[in-house]
Amino acid sequence: MLPTILDLTSLSEAYAAGKSPLDIIEIVIARRAASTDPAIFITPTPDDILRAEVRALMMRAPEPNSLPLWGIPFAVKDNIDVAGLPTTAACPAFSYRPEKDATVVARLRAAGAIVIGKTNLDQFATGLNGTRSPHGAPRSVFDKNYVSGGSSSGSAVAVASGLASFALGTDTAGSGRVPAAFNNLVGIKPTPGLVPNVGVVPACRSVDVVTVFAPTVGDGVAIRKVMEGFDAADPFSRKAVPASLPASGLRIGVLDGAEREFFGDKEVEALYDQAIERARGLGATIVPFDYAPFREAAALLYDGPWVAERLAAVETFLATNAADFDPTVRGIIEGAKGKTAVEAFNGRYRLEELRRKTEAEWEKADVLLLPTSPTTYTVEEMMADPIVKNGHFGRYTNFVNLLDCAAIAVPAGFDADGHLPAGITLVGSAFADDALAPFADAMHRTLNAGMGKDRLAAIPEASRVPQADDGLVPIVVVGAHLTGMPLNHELTRPGGRRIKSCRTAPDYRLFVLPDTVPPKPGLIREPGFDGKGLEVEVWKVPAEAFGRFVQNIPAPLGIGKVTLDDGSQIAGFLCEAHAIEGAREITELGGWRAYVTDQRIPK
């Protein structure tokens, strides 16, 4: 029985256990036919062609999992070419049938992935809400009254509803991130130029990016790595020089003061604040920064001369087919007709001035943590005020490509009623794509909000994005070595760094060890015990210091593998079972810090 969400780990395990890609594609066909949202696809791949493509894959690569994406079903936004299927950009009169795959599609197919169809979008990728299509508006998988986000609307819904393992979108102003937020998904937004755009209908050619919607950060990164790489046929393709970030102790920039704008949505604001606290718990230093220059840069994308790029992409077609455009899309694109070359240069100058101002803010922070969208709306609300409300969605997304940034959007949880999701986005410098991924993955895992519409789904351990090797050894501490406790100096003096605060798995118990100075707890694992987990910290120390540290641990304490609440296992303090006989159990307090506070023991 396959899970609702078709993540890469689940399918790889199914194939290793004897399932065939033909079995999986039949499940996809059945799910697609049973879908209650008729606006997801513009052109589904016909059933018989899907079966034929799977058989061809199995002839080419008969061994299970012998290719990176062997038998993995994916959907493609219908402004990206797939040979044999029409490309329409959600405008039937514009339709053409490409003879070649877009570069990214060709690379994914070569890796074994199977295209299940072309998905709906805001026409000509103009919009962030998903209502600007003659094929209807795909809806949030959590409430059919609400927008799914756009322009990559159908792609996000296809993944979140379990029809595809991943989907391609495009992102000029936030279209690879906003739909992820509204559907409890990860959105991978590469640095401009990292992924080729050959075979993609342009919106703003100089800043367009092909993106990935996926259930997990690990899945999204793996898929992006298949797609990326220089393509000489794309004049905006670039040879990447990866940027690095600190492996621990990240400085995370967050919104402050008047720049915190949620348009009255207290629920999303609360989720943003909770995300900040989760980042702090993961060991990040939280730093307020001035968003104003980023916001001013964002405004240039639609209010400045860059809107003329949208006209440049469809100028000839618009001249003969204006009546075939969605009225809102047409109004936006025709608004560029008055733009002059002088305005274009002045816009470029203004962008560079603002870029210089943002440099001062980047001195404060390694990564920015922003709401993906400050709010959401029903389809009815969006249709009644399509320009203003669409603009609200882009408040924290529109600057990212203009300022040449990498970004990863991850879920931020659900509102107080558990009704609608929201998202946060981590933004880094150009080509920090890989460097952003471990922290983004950790943020997603701390949330426990599932994947897509399956809120109970556990994020597979196999998809975890590892931290870059910094030469330091991780260790879990539970008692006197916690931050602020008497023995914490044994970690800090040799250069140790706190990575995060978290909890153990549920099957651990905690006891007060008698006659220890300073007072210490004993952590015992008891399989089958169903607790709430215990507060611990994960630190990293130099390897030499770790060796000395272990050598000096007094009995009955020792070092063993401690399983954390996210499923990971890290070396940490454990206690010999005999030592807890007659000792006071404090498991119900949730951790040593609570006991110390309760007993008024000096720290």
Q: Which residues are catalytic?
A: 77, 151, 175
How many whole angstroms separate alpha carbon 481 and alpha carbon 539? Answer: 10
Is residue 297 within 8 A of residue 290, CB to CB? The reply is no
How many whole angstroms separate alpha carbon 186 and alpha carbon 171? Answer: 14
Give the strand pairing for 406-414 and 186-189: antiparallel
Q: Residues with Cβ < 8 Å from 384, sequence gap 6 or more?
A: none
CA proximity to 445, closest of 182, 215, 123: 215
Sign, CA torsion 377/378/381/385: positive
β strands within 28-180, DSSP E: 41-44, 73-77, 114-119, 139-140, 143-147, 166-171
CA proximity to 302, closest of 110, 92, 127, 178: 127
Query: Starting from the edge strand earliest in sequence, which strands make up the sheet with 166-171, in order?
Result: 41-44, 114-119, 73-77, 166-171, 209-214, 186-189, 406-414, 421-428, 367-371, 251-254, 285-288
How many whole angstroms separate alpha carbon 403 and alpha carbon 429? Answer: 9
The angle subtended at Cα 15 by Cα 11 and Cα 17, nearest 5°, is 115
Encoding tokens for residue 381?
């609300």
Q: How far is CA 432 from CA 147, 193, 370, in A?
A: 31, 13, 16
How many whole angstroms separate alpha carbon 151 and alpha carbon 174? Answer: 8
For residue 397, list its beta bridge partners: none
Is residue 341 within 8 A of residue 225, CB to CB? The reply is no
Decide: helix, strand or coil at residue 207: coil
